[in-house]
Chains A and B, each alone.
Chain A
Amino acid sequence: MTNAWIVATIVAVVAGLVGFFVVLRGSAFAAHAVPNGSFAGAAGALLINVNVLIGLGAFSLAGALGIGWLGRRDRQDVATALALVLMLGLGALFVSLTAESEPAAYSLLFGELLGVANNQLLPTAGLAIACTTALGVLYRPLLLSSVLPDLSEARGVSPTAVELGFLVCVALATTMTVPVVGTTLIFSLMIGAPAAARAIVDRPGAALALSVAIALVTVWVAIAASYQLNLPVGFFVGVLSATSYAAGRGWSAWRRRGP
């Protein structure tokens, strides 16, 4: 149970940080495609009997770079969709070749947060530090190119390089979180909390902090509720994410109408 709290806290911090830029850049599709497609990597790892983390890392990185490469000269959303279906198709192949077991599919999608083992803590923390450091290095160019793409290009920041760097951050966050919380939970966290934060405050620094705070509250409440009511964590995270966004929108609408 302690492990679940530690891992959930790490995951929420990273999701809040990465998700802020996901929402700012309008990359929700990529944030969905990389974790979802990396599922194929896990299936492939099971097929050839290597560590699941390696498969996840390889596929999420390949997926991120593939999206960036395909997206250079086509619409980003089309590139993302094609990269995603290719990975899912490979996943279907790997699953069918392994004569697989279905519980694995469920836990990769929705996670087994309450069953996190001790030896999963170290890789998770390591990847979280790597991801946060990368974001810290990229912070200013990323912010500038997300908000004012023309200005940032005029100042010599390559939009392709920033996009690739950002996608690699998403891939790192994916590799770290999928084995412990599943692909759907990380997506919900990366969208709901930052979207709510952006609706409430405008300044990037404040929104970033608020996004992390909302993500933390979401996972803590979700774990407690899941433990008490014996229902899946993913359910609470998904519903709380959507609720917090609705609350954020309501708050900003109310404030705009007020004096």
Chain B
Amino acid sequence: MSSDEIWELRLYTAGQTPKSLAALANLKRLCEENLKGKYRIEVIDLMANPRLAKEHQIVAIPTLVKKLPSPLRQIIGDLSDKEKALVGLQITPAHR
């Protein structure tokens, strides 16, 4: 994949639950480590806007959706399993 591609990531949470906070923290760290400077994170609190859960077909919380680059991928969980998260997002680790 081209290196200048912007990663659009959307994290769905439901309120400030420990799981949601952990997911956001894990995501930020993961992006900083592997996609520095070429990612965008949007956090959607479904508690504030439950209609979006229906519209975006969200069942589990937290859910991370990789909108770009395609293909669209969904990752659920607090992203504590780093390896799985990377595989799920199809990110090639920058530093090994």
A binds B: no
